[in-house]
Chain A
């Protein structure tokens, strides 16, 4: 039996639980009102549903505040606090413990979802889509708030009171990025619920004209930007704390965030086609249904234990429930799309293969294949277990790289050629004229790279495609600036276009970082002795151990090795945490450089303080991945800017005021 409310042991816990149950009640009421209002087309009922979102948001906010207060006050009568926090943690760790474990992270998810629903309720137009978009948001809310208030409630009381909590997972205390990464990721996942709600509303009402994709563009872009930042932040966390010198391991958890990213990227591109040309309607519906479902699928995979992963997440009863919600989303999405198929088929003029639409369509197929292959690799061990009865088969990175590299290069190729092609149809001559400078620059760049000693074919192709992309975007910008009479003018008139160009430039920078760091990473290990006669040479660098010391950090110890590499000081640590006495957490010393990082990890330190074993990793252009991401996010931000009008009077935006 679920003990939903217990007033016996915990005052704060009861308050939080009551808040969540209240939010659940308002969610159910809002859901019913939205559907009744939609079916009867009664504006007053819909208005009531709209206001129910405010109550849900207020109550879930109260719930998350209560948990925050309980964490900061070390209230160990609340089970979540007792199991995932402790008195001696610094304040920032106590705050981030809020999403450091399953129950809290689902509460954060529910809170963000209620916040997005609240914002949506303020921006929704009073049209036929409104009740159904609200209703769909309520369905998502019903799931997350329901899970939060019942099977995964953070407010369940403890039976035996502890003097001190068990403390947060050490792996998450080891770096501040773990405070940021989950929040970014959930913002991305939750943000996708809004375009999904619009798609469902468009399907239900049969209004599959272009209004819904125009409205969802901003929502999708914001969600996509958060998702991009979250994935890269996770990679950076892995780079900074796991001590292996890499940032991506095709781990099921990473894949779970990457699949929605691929599908959302495809959606982001094909809604432009629907907006401009009225094509790809069915693509857009399918893509957003799949993208939103894949966020739930990812959470299911990582919380159910069905897929083994190095990220050991606790299981519990949540897995099957997520699977049920995933099945529900897919069945409803596919059912609605099948029912409305005649509406989706309308303006289906097939784009010419060599045209801008054709490039977008080909890109969509590549994204789709990419997402499908990543999913296949993630689930394959499960299939093997089901088919052969053998447990524990896993697919190595080699499998993923075999298709990820060609598909990635294909996407880079299309990305460069797409903006150059005219809409509808390109004639051969003008196409060749446009492509000549690009191909020439690509070949030139590849030759230069070859002269400098780059021999890996994939890296050479990446360099060529990078140059071809940059030259193409540069030429387009120069031409537009000439026509508009200045770069500033064309920027003001077309922020969307230049935002997209900027994001593409960022992606090119990132692709170079991925290609070089993947192909030319060097790695060596040695044991360094204090007072050694001569420095040790690793990867053509001279390493000397200059000191070893132990530091007590209150909630654990650090052993710090000071090493000089070619005269530059490095301090790499091995951290231990009091909750996990048997585990070591390395904190590598990284010297970031524009052309390459020097990365030093201490793997073991002599208990007598005479020697330390170190691993030295040299990776070229790693930091280009982080800079590229920053450029991508800036570009995405630029696409949200409202273009300047040629007239002097500012026009009202399309937002309906949310007043009565």
Chain B
């Protein structure tokens, strides 16, 4: 199993450990982590909200990348230009969504959907659609229930 040639190197000398490198390493680690965590993490955190939650937290979420989840209403899709407009709603609040790209014919009214993108003014500009499929679909009663349903079928 072992290598056959004995190593010609001298063994390391025994002496007291100098703690400096370890301390330096740990300080560097903590510093880098702190820098990245607070500089970058907060910017790149992406919250998942329902339309009602968004209307409550509008001030802090506008213009930031978020995911919004709800039910699809008022679908207007042109397959030739790939322009899609619809309204995402949770029964309480609702917001218009714009998306450019193909959607399958599974994309229907009252379908659950999670959309990734950001708000510009009152319209949500979507970069990505995550269509939810659920065989037994009931209109959820609470915000949490809706989110759980959307998360589960993700």
Contact = CB atoms under 8 A, between A and B. Distances in A.
Given A368-B29, A655-B1, A391 B147 contact: yes
A9 interface: no
Contacts of B41: 377, 380, 395, 399
Interface string A394-405: 111011001100
Given A349-B13, A603-B104, A392 B48 contact: yes
Contacts of B7: 275-276
Interface in B42-79: 43-49, 65, 67, 79
Interface in B1-58: 1-5, 7, 9-15, 17-18, 20-21, 25, 28-29, 32-33, 36-37, 40-41, 43-49
Interface in B103-127: 103-106
Contacts of B80: 527, 529, 611
Given A215-B1, A615-B102, A651-B4, A527 B9 contact: no
A487 interface: no
B45 A604 contact: no
B29 A349 contact: no
Interface residues of A, number: 69
A392 B28 contact: no
Nearest to B18: A350
A615 B104 CA distance: 13
A614 B2 CA distance: 56
Given A391-B48, A394-B45, A347 B12 contact: yes
Chain B interface category by residue count: 35 or more
B92 to A, nearest CB: 18
Residue of A218, A365, A372, A653 with most partner-chain B CB within 10 A: A365
A334 interface: no
A611 B101 CA distance: 15
5 contacts: A345-B17, A393-B47, A398-B43, A399-B41, A525-B102
Nearest to A601: B102
A32 interface: no
A288 B116 CA distance: 39
Contacts of A580: 133
A369 B147 contact: no
A341 B44 CA distance: 40
A65 interface: no
Secondary structure at the A interface, as helix, strand, loop or mixed, is mixed
Contacts of B46: 393-396
A212 to B, nearest CB: 11
A390 interface: yes
B36 A423 contact: no
The 4 nearest A-B residue pairs measured at CB: A613-B102, A392-B48, A603-B102, A582-B133
Given A215-B1, A308-B154, A613-B82, A393 B12 contact: no
Contacts of B133: 580, 582-583
A331 interface: no
Contact of B9 (A372, A377, A423): A423
A399 B40 contact: yes
A308 B151 contact: yes
Secondary structure at the B interface, as helix, strand, loop or mixed, is loop
A278 B151 contact: no
A349 B151 contact: no
A399 B46 CA distance: 11
A277 B11 contact: yes
Contacts of B1: 123, 214-215, 217-218, 653-655
Nearest to A384: B45
Contacts of B101: 525, 603, 615
B47 A349 contact: no
A70 B57 CA distance: 54
Contacts of A525: 82, 100-102
Given A308-B151, A582-B135, A651-B4, A372 B12 contact: no
A636 to B, nearest CB: 16
Interface string A174-218: 000000000000000000000000000000000000000011011
B102 A372 contact: no
A645 B47 CA distance: 62
Given A604-B104, A604-B105, A395 B18 contact: no
Given A277-B12, A347-B14, A398 B45 contact: no
Contacts of B154: 308, 310, 312
Given A275-B3, A308-B151, A613-B102, 11 more contacts: A276-B9, A312-B153, A350-B21, A368-B29, A392-B151, A398-B40, A399-B40, A581-B135, A604-B79, A604-B105, A654-B1
B102 A604 contact: yes
A582 B106 contact: yes
A606 interface: yes
